Chains A and B, each alone.
Chain A
């Protein structure tokens, strides 16, 4: 039995003993089961199991969706850089990026299915699309992109040591791999639009002056800011995950230059994002918000959403990591690189939290109260189930598939 398990692992790399692996996955499995129970309750009994209501319709799940979709952008952006712009150094992390992208998007879709409810009617959105809603575009693009990611995942699975002994799998994998540039192009196109539409979704909320933004043609400024921020966060998240897996497995997985390159790409994209974000905030403070009858400082008058949150988002989680990642000397230090990448990922999560939770918490009419929301245990359980699913899928992929082609070279 043990021998069969060993023969499923990639050759030339070392993995922990099965017993140790079992001890690692068991708590995550327990968390997954607990989360599925919570999600099941929501699906069977309805959304009354959550603490959301008609006023606070977006909560923990939408925050999770927006964050993981932004962090999963590393898959499309790495694919774009590798297959379209021919940055061959990124071959070292593309498999891991695809798996992360797949986990993020499938996790987001699963959470959305619970959030929307009525899972048996999931096809309504495709058959009766509301073409005036940005959510329709988001649904279409995410579904298509998840299909693309699944197709990109297939060659990685088919290269498993045992599966590659089947000639038809091998040949299909080879032919599918030849079409990766096409799929990478489609993925980039889809990601560009759905990342943007997720931002646009908030920017068009005329009744929510905290989120409403002017823009270009039909797209509010948040459309472009979401694209740029996701493109910056994706590579940073790959740096974080690669570093974490390397630390947990106690093995070098990629050459340091690859992580430095990802850090640099993240820094290059983060700086213009921060500048545009500052510009957007200034326009909003001076024009957009006053035009709708609000002074911008009113939005930050209620605790805990003080001005500190804007400062943290722009300076601590934006400007600071951008400057670190753009300095070669700092990038060359693994500590600084990981610290800055963690700040970028934290910044993205904070931005999506602000857009989701703060937007809905703030009153929009004089008689509106300031709303507070804390998720129910079922919501938290579903959230944790997505995390557990991600960890388990990645752990199994790392154990049985070749996620880091350089690992073999570096292990000698």
Chain B
């Protein structure tokens, strides 16, 4: 009798654990939607699926590490290593120039850049203007459609900011900050969103700026050329020149969905 009870007890305990695991996952999923964590989760679930070359730590760009993979899904705000290294940097280390010309691409140094190729510029009125950086803009030049969030939409850092359609690719652009959309623009305006940041001020600790821009973009250009290389052929890197304004038009045979996914950090 005791044997029966132990055997069947173990069996039902196992069934209970399996059912409880499923129920807990379902409950948590519903809770995530209610607490508006879905966007953050989407990014955290995507990040580990990105190839290692896309998850490089920003401190590798500046030579502070020879090789390091980011373990915090590009959210440096909670990274102790980043905090320690940022504190070590001399206060006068910021570059004096107002604009960086990287391989023919203009990167104004008065703003901060997100790894997903958006920039954030704090306006005097407390809002933050968000736009696509020069490389991102040339990749999705003359988009077929743009899906911008409505005014009042709340954005999450690394969550979806807006979508763009280009040559069959539905490109998801990541948000560089947390906040509420107060106005929308478009490619013709030079900016896409104006956002009222959470906490009243842009927290830009996770964004790139100054001396980090040049090595980052240099590496991004290498990744782009690798993504554009025909299948089965070795990558040839350009040794001069500047990117054309509409890169998609110059590569009619390229799988644009794969190219955009590579550069805009989609798995």
Question: Quick check: B42 and A171 within 8 Å, CB to CB?
Answer: yes
Asked if A82 is at the interface (CB within 8 A of a chain B CB), the reply is: no
Q: Which of B7, B41, B49, B51 contacts A171 (CB 8 A)?
A: B41
Per-residue CB contact flags for chain A residues 67-96 toward chain B (1 = under 8 Å, else 0) read 000000000000000000000000000000
- Nearest A residue to B229 via CB reads A412
Interface residue stretch chosen among A52-60, A201-209, A301-309, A401-409? A401-409
Chain A contacts of B44 at CB under 8 A? 174
- Nearest A residue to B17 via CB reads A186
Q: For chain A, what secondary structure do more than half of its interface residues adopt (helix, strand, loop), or is it mixed?
A: helix
Interface size on A, residues (CB 8 A): 37
A408–B26 alpha-carbon span in the complex (Å): 31
A46–B52 alpha-carbon span in the complex (Å): 55
Interface residue stretch chosen among A176-184, A229-237, A321-329? A176-184
Asked if A140 is at the interface (CB within 8 A of a chain B CB), the reply is: yes
Asked if B201 is at the interface (CB within 8 A of a chain A CB), the reply is: no
Asked if B8 is at the interface (CB within 8 A of a chain A CB), the reply is: yes
A175–B42 alpha-carbon span in the complex (Å): 11
Chain B contacts of A151 at CB under 8 A? 18, 21-22
Interface residue stretch chosen among B89-97, B126-134, B258-266? B258-266
Asked if B141 is at the interface (CB within 8 A of a chain A CB), the reply is: no
A412–B49 alpha-carbon span in the complex (Å): 16
A178–B266 alpha-carbon span in the complex (Å): 21
Per-residue CB contact flags for chain B residues 164-176 toward chain A (1 = under 8 Å, else 0) read 0000100000000
A190–B38 alpha-carbon span in the complex (Å): 34
Asked if A366 is at the interface (CB within 8 A of a chain B CB), the reply is: no
A179–B27 alpha-carbon span in the complex (Å): 13
Q: For chain B, what secondary structure do more than half of its interface residues adopt (helix, strand, loop), or is it mixed?
A: helix
Say whether, besides A11-B261, A170-B42, A182-B17, A129 and B29 are in contact (CB < 8 Å).
no
A372–B261 alpha-carbon span in the complex (Å): 61
What's the nearest-Cβ distance from chain B to residue A193, in Å?
Answer: 9
A137–B8 alpha-carbon span in the complex (Å): 10
Q: Which of A3, A11, A174, A182 contacts B41 (CB 8 A)?
A: A174
Q: Which of B14, B29, B257 contacts A172 (CB 8 A)?
A: B29
A173–B14 alpha-carbon span in the complex (Å): 21
What's the nearest-Cβ distance from chain A to residue B252, in Å?
Answer: 16
Asked if B33 is at the interface (CB within 8 A of a chain A CB), the reply is: yes
Asked if B32 is at the interface (CB within 8 A of a chain A CB), the reply is: yes
Question: Quick check: B11 and A140 within 8 Å, CB to CB?
Answer: yes
Question: Quick check: B261 and A409 within 8 Å, CB to CB?
Answer: no
A164–B42 alpha-carbon span in the complex (Å): 9
Asked if A167 is at the interface (CB within 8 A of a chain B CB), the reply is: yes
Per-residue CB contact flags for chain A residues 248-280 toward chain B (1 = under 8 Å, else 0) read 000000000000000000000000000000000
Chain B contacts of A408 at CB under 8 A? 51
Chain A contacts of B26 at CB under 8 A? 172, 175
A176–B28 alpha-carbon span in the complex (Å): 9
Question: Quick check: B53 and A409 within 8 Å, CB to CB?
Answer: yes
Chain A contacts of B226 at CB under 8 A? 412
Chain B contacts of A409 at CB under 8 A? 51-53
Chain B contacts of A148 at CB under 8 A? 18
Asked if A397 is at the interface (CB within 8 A of a chain B CB), the reply is: no
Question: Quick check: B7 and A131 within 8 Å, CB to CB?
Answer: yes
Chain A contacts of B18 at CB under 8 A? 144, 147-148, 151, 183, 186
Chain B contacts of A137 at CB under 8 A? 7
Asked if B211 is at the interface (CB within 8 A of a chain A CB), the reply is: no
- Nearest B residue to A180 via CB reads B21
Asked if A7 is at the interface (CB within 8 A of a chain B CB), the reply is: yes
Asked if A374 is at the interface (CB within 8 A of a chain B CB), the reply is: no
Question: Quick check: B262 and A12 within 8 Å, CB to CB?
Answer: yes
Question: Quick check: A168 and B33 within 8 Å, CB to CB?
Answer: yes
Asked if B4 is at the interface (CB within 8 A of a chain A CB), the reply is: yes
Asked if A311 is at the interface (CB within 8 A of a chain B CB), the reply is: no
Question: Quick check: A14 and B231 within 8 Å, CB to CB?
Answer: yes
Asked if B246 is at the interface (CB within 8 A of a chain A CB), the reply is: no
What's the nearest-Cβ distance from chain A to residue B4, in Å?
Answer: 5
Q: Which of A131, A168, A190 contacts B3 (CB 8 A)?
A: A131
Per-residue CB contact flags for chain B residues 1-42 toward chain A (1 = under 8 Å, else 0) read 001100110010011011001101110110011000010011
Chain B contacts of A144 at CB under 8 A? 11, 14-15, 18
Chain B contacts of A182 at CB under 8 A? 17, 21
Asked if B267 is at the interface (CB within 8 A of a chain A CB), the reply is: yes
Asked if B151 is at the interface (CB within 8 A of a chain A CB), the reply is: no
Chain B contacts of A170 at CB under 8 A? 38, 41-42, 45
Question: Quick check: B3 and A179 within 8 Å, CB to CB?
Answer: no
Question: Quick check: A175 and B17 within 8 Å, CB to CB?
Answer: no
Asked if A399 is at the interface (CB within 8 A of a chain B CB), the reply is: no
What's the nearest-Cβ distance from chain B to residue A157, in Å?
Answer: 14
Chain B contacts of A168 at CB under 8 A? 29, 33
Say whether, besides A171-B38, A182-B17, A186-B17, A11 and B266 are in contact (CB < 8 Å).
yes
> Among residues 240 to 267 in chain B, which have CB atoms less than 8 Å away from a CB atom of chain A?
257-258, 261-262, 266-267
A412–B54 alpha-carbon span in the complex (Å): 12
- Nearest A residue to B232 via CB reads A14
- Nearest A residue to B27 via CB reads A175
Chain B contacts of A175 at CB under 8 A? 24-26, 28-29, 32
Hey, which bits of chain A sit against chain B, CB under 8 A? 3, 7, 11-12, 14, 129, 131, 137, 140, 144, 147-148, 151, 159, 164, 167-168, 170-179, 182-183, 186, 189-190, 402, 405, 408-409, 412
Q: List 12 A-B contacts (CB under 8 A).
A: A11-B258, A11-B267, A148-B18, A167-B33, A167-B38, A171-B42, A172-B25, A176-B25, A179-B21, A408-B51, A409-B51, A409-B53
Hey, which bits of chain B sit against chain A, CB under 8 A? 3-4, 7-8, 11, 14-15, 17-18, 21-22, 24-26, 28-29, 32-33, 38, 41-42, 44-45, 49, 51-53, 168, 226, 231, 257-258, 261-262, 266-267
- Report, nearest first, the 8 A-B pairs whose CB atoms are least far apart: A175-B28, A175-B25, A174-B45, A176-B25, A172-B29, A408-B51, A409-B51, A171-B29
